[in-house]
Amino acid sequence: MTNTLTDIQESPGTTHASGRPGGRKPGSYTALRRLWPAVKPISWRLAGSAFFALVASVCGLVIPLILQKIIDGPITEKNLSGLWPLGITLVLVGILEGGLYGVRRILVARPCMRVEAKLRQNLYQRLQALPVAFHDHYSSGQLLSRAISDLNTIRMFLAFTAIFLMVNISTFVIGVIILLSLSWQLGLVFVVLAVPLIVLCLLFEVKYKVLARRSQDQVGDLATMVEESVLGIRILKAFGRSAHLGQAFRKQAMALRATELKKVRVVGALWAVIIALPEIAIGVALLLGVNQVADGDLSAGALVAFFFVAMMLRWPVDSLGWLLASTNETAAAADRYFEVMDQPLTVTSPAVPVTLPPSAQAGRLVFEDVTFRFPDTADENKDALAGLDLVLEPGRTVAVVGATGSGKTTLTALVNRLYDVTGGRITIDGVDIRDLALPDLRTAVSVAFEEPTLFSASAAENVRLGHPDATDEDVRQALSIAQADFVDDLPWGLDTRLGEQGLSLSGGQRQRLALARAVLGHPRVLVLDDPLSALDIHTEAAVEAALRRVLTTTTTLLIAHRASTVMLAEQVALLKDGRIAALGTHSQLMAESADYRDLLSSNAYTDQQEN
């Protein structure tokens, strides 16, 4: 068996990530109905737009009548005096028709855009609020395709489909009433026509919505692949595997094409039937009508009028094809949208938050019997953290040491509730962190991640991320603690734009900026996850010296791999099997714990050097 990236895209994880609808039945328009609150403010505009569209159609109908009058009147009578009023009426009605066309569009143009923007904004804000655990699962391409393509679909629905559904259905109903009044027998033919039409639409809906959904999911998968291909470009280039991924991409793109073609076939078939149905009705009406006229039951004029109206009804019926397709696509898109909007916000502020006691002598961080299991971990797998106890006294620094994958980073993520503990509790100054307002907690706890993230903003703004109102002096101080004075050498100093849309920095530079960001604003609790890993030795020594001053007054949870970093802490905790296996000073643990020695002793190297 060969393992290729091609398979990657079809692994169960991705399918899960695309959030396919589980047991939900595809025929429901519930999601569509749920758009109502967003649409409600513009509903009168939609209705107005539909109304004007209807009036415009009426104008369109009046024009032939005027033409007929001109032909029957002035021209046949060869009397041009009557021509001018009719001609002017014609111009006016023509302008009115055109004008109403414009009015109907202008009425909804901006409001529909605003609805779309609002929905997108809501989605974005929801995504920012959703817990990290949610984002672990959902591929960002799927989220992006919801924010862009799906909302686009919904907007088009509002601006066109919804209006024409209203217009065309009312046109159809009005038309049928006129037909019935002209000849109830003939009219009945068109009433009967509605029956297969409705059945057909229901059948179509079941089939089409599944396809629409599949195609939208595939669009999301493609977006995911594109994103990965760009973010991973260095790896792909380093291994020359672009072509390999290209193949996987092609396969995905072909799958999307296949779905789209299936959709086209279904729509094509629907369309054929929808076009044929009124024609059959007209054919039948023709048979009946001509017979009625021949029998003298119907005047020839009435029959002409009947067909005139019947022909006018063809468009509302024919258009049902794309209206239905668009409606189903929108229903599927709305489904996808609400799937994300419905995700529970599991990490939230409590209803009645407790405030932290005033900060003098504060920052006592306590882990009490903390257990944590990643949401999707099968039960037989053991917890990532299993009954961890650890106390950090105010102003003290505790280094946590453990093997790769022992759960150190997981532990740090619990302190500011990126994840919530699944058992036990974490307290700061005696308050369970879940009883704190989330912003308060996250102001109190500052983190430097092991993989530093910079945003597309100036260096200064990146450092000020958690404290936008920090003074320049504070920023300077933070930068000097992190030995990040290299920012002065950047082209525009502190105002240099960084991040993806700006200057790219080396790993060590990013790490120092992230450290500066974390120490800014004197947090109650500082969490540093392997903060010096990418620094060269001289810089590391300088940062350590500067950090030491900060650490004497700040409660710090310090994750470390190297003895030199561990030395920054007063106490060291050894993390093993999800709990603290040993606690003491560095030299104590070196003396007492074989595991610890194994983890931190560098003798192996020095010995080799000596040889």
Partner 1 sequence: MSTDQSWRGVAAEDTDELEHATGVKLQARSRRLLRVLARPHKRLLVLALLVVIADQVAALAGPLLIAYAIDTAVPELVDGNGRPLTWAILGYLAAGLISALMRMAFTRLAGRISQNILLDLRKRVFDHSQELSVSFHEKYTSGKVISRMTSDLDAISDLTEQGLDGLVTGALSVVVVAGTLLVLDLPLGLAVLLGFIPLYGVTRWFQRRSIRIYRRTRRHIAAVIVQFTETLNGLRAVQTFRRESRNAKIFDEDNRAYAHANGDVMVSFAMYTPAVRIIGNISLAAVTVWGAVRVVNGQMEIGVLTAFLLYLRRMYDPMDELAMFYNSFQSATAALEKISGLLEEEPAVPEPKNPVALPNPQGHVVASGVDFSYTAGIEVLPTFDLEIPAGQTIALVGATGAGKSTVAKLISRFYDPSHGSVTLDGVDLRDLSTTDLRRGVVMVTQESFLFSGSVADNIALGRPEATREEIELAAEEIGAAEFIHRLPDGFDTDVRKRGGRLSAGQRQLVAFARAFLADPAVLILDEATASLDIPSERAVQAALRTVLDGRTAVIIAHRLSTVSIADRVLVMEHGRVVEDGTPAELIDGVGRFADLHAAWRDSLV
Ligand X SMILES: Nc1ncnc2c1ncn2[C@@H]1O[C@H](COP(=O)(O)OP(=O)(O)O)[C@@H](O)[C@H]1O
Cβ count near 563 (within 10 Å): 16
Of 481 and 534, the one with the shorter C-beta distance to Mg ion is 534
Q: How far apart are CA 565 and CA 529, in angstroms?
A: 11
Helix (H) or strand (E) holding 606: helix 603-610
Yes or no: say if 479 and 550 are a contact pair by the CB < 8 Å rule.
no
**Binding string, residues 407-426; x marks residues near partner 1 by CB under 8 A:** -xx---x--x-x--------
Yes or no: say if 378 and 532 are a contact pair by the CB < 8 Å rule.
no
Indicate whether 594 belongs to the interface with partner 1 (CB under 8 A).
no
Site for ligand X in 125-164 (CB under 6 A): 136
- Residue 477 burial (10 A CB sphere; 0-12, 13-18, 19+): middle
Partner whose footprint covers residue 12, from partner 1, Mg ion, ligand X, none (CB < 5 to 8 Å by kind): partner 1
Indicate whether 109 belongs to the interface with partner 1 (CB under 8 A).
yes
Which residues, 6+ apart, have CB-to-CB distance to 309 below 8 Å?
175, 178, 179, 182
Which residues, 6+ apart, have CB-to-CB distance to 590 below 8 Å?
596, 597, 600, 601
**Binding string, residues 298-317; x marks residues near Mg ion by CB under 5 A:** --------------------
Of 106 and 191, the one with the shorter C-beta distance to partner 1 is 106
Partner whose footprint covers residue 236, from partner 1, Mg ion, ligand X, none (CB < 5 to 8 Å by kind): partner 1
Partner whose footprint covers residue 329, from partner 1, Mg ion, ligand X, none (CB < 5 to 8 Å by kind): none
- Please provide the distance, in angstroms rounded to a whole number, between the alpha carbons at the two ends of the chain: 46
Among 23, 36, 238, 473, binds partner 1 (CB under 8 A): 238
Q: Which residue has the tokens 């430097």?
A: 448
Among 209, 408, 512, 524, binds ligand X (CB under 6 A): 408
By CB under 8 A, which span of 27-35, 89-97, 166-174, 572-580 interacts with partner 1?
Answer: 89-97
In the complex, what is the shortest distance from the CB of residue 103 to partner 1, in angstroms, rounded to a whole number? 8
Q: How far apart are CA 529 and CA 421, in angstroms?
A: 19
Of 506 and 602, the one with the shorter C-beta distance to ligand X is 506
Judged by CB under 8 A, the number of residues near partner 1 is 191
Site for ligand X in 495-514 (CB under 6 A): 504, 506
Of 192 and 361, the one with the shorter C-beta distance to partner 1 is 192
Q: Which residue has the tokens 């949401």?
A: 375
Among 170, 319, 349, 564, binds partner 1 (CB under 8 A): 564
Among 3, 128, 404, 587, binds ligand X (CB under 6 A): 404
Site for partner 1 in 499-528 (CB under 8 A): 499-501, 504, 506-509, 517
Among 162, 392, 465, 575, binds partner 1 (CB under 8 A): 465
Indicate whether 591 belongs to the interface with partner 1 (CB under 8 A).
no
Site for partner 1 in 314-353 (CB under 8 A): none
In the complex, what is the shortest distance from the CB of residue 256 to ligand X, in angstroms, rounded to a whole number? 29
Indicate whether 555 belongs to the interface with partner 1 (CB under 8 A).
no
Q: How far apart are CA 338 and CA 344, in angstroms?
A: 11
Q: Cα 428 to the chain's mean position, in Å?
A: 34
Indicate whether 291 belongs to the interface with ligand X (CB under 6 A).
no
Q: How far apart are CA 342 and CA 339, in angstroms?
A: 5
Indicate whether 264 belongs to the interface with partner 1 (CB under 8 A).
yes
In the complex, what is the shortest distance from the CB of residue 108 to ligand X, in angstroms, rounded to a whole number? 44
Query: For 160, which DSSP code?
Result: I
Of 31 and 558, the one with the shorter C-beta distance to ligand X is 558
Angle between helices 320-341 and 242-295 (to 10 degrees): 140
Among 170, 409, 427, 477, binds Mg ion (CB under 5 A): 409
CA dist 375 to 83, 148, 379, 384, 412, Å?
Answer: 81, 29, 10, 11, 17
Among 294, 351, 352, 360, binds partner 1 (CB under 8 A): 294
CA dist 360 to 125, 396, 434, Å?
Answer: 35, 14, 22
Indicate whether 44 belongs to the interface with ligand X (CB under 6 A).
no
In the complex, what is the shortest distance from the CB of residue 407 to Mg ion, in angstroms, rounded to a whole number? 8
Indicate whether 283 belongs to the interface with partner 1 (CB under 8 A).
yes
Partner whose footprint covers residue 241, from partner 1, Mg ion, ligand X, none (CB < 5 to 8 Å by kind): partner 1
- Contacts of 337-342 spanning 24+ positions with Cβ under 8 A: 337/31, 337/119, 337/123, 337/146, 337/150, 337/151, 337/154, 338/31, 338/34, 339/19, 339/21, 340/19, 340/123, 340/126, 340/127, 340/130, 340/138, 340/143, 340/146, 341/122, 341/123, 341/126
Indicate whether 384 belongs to the interface with ligand X (CB under 6 A).
yes
Q: Which residue has the tokens 């994103």?
A: 227
Q: How far apart are CA 132 and CA 374, in angstroms?
A: 11
Q: Which residue is nearest to ligand X (CB)?
A: 409
Among 19, 111, 402, 531, binds ligand X (CB under 6 A): 402
Which residues, 6+ apart, have CB-to-CB distance to 322 below 8 Å?
267
Q: Cα 105 to the chain's mean position, in Å?
A: 29
Indicate whether 409 belongs to the interface with ligand X (CB under 6 A).
yes
Secondary structure (DSSP) of 564-596: HHHTT-SEEEEEETTEEEEEE-HHHHHHH-HHH
Indicate whether 573 belongs to the interface with partner 1 (CB under 8 A).
no
Of 377 and 393, the one with the shorter C-beta distance to partner 1 is 377
Going through 353-498 in order, the beta strands assigned E by DSSP cover 365-372, 385-392, 397-402, 423-428, 431-432, 445-448
Of 173 and 276, the one with the shorter C-beta distance to partner 1 is 276
The token duo for 344 is 């529970």
Partner whose footprint covers residue 95, from partner 1, Mg ion, ligand X, none (CB < 5 to 8 Å by kind): partner 1
The token duo for 436 is 């704190």
Indicate whether 150 belongs to the interface with partner 1 (CB under 8 A).
no
Please give the residue ranges that form the binding site for ligand X (CB under 6 A).
136, 374, 377, 384, 402, 404-410, 504, 506
Please give the residue ranges that form the binding site for Mg ion (CB under 5 A).
409
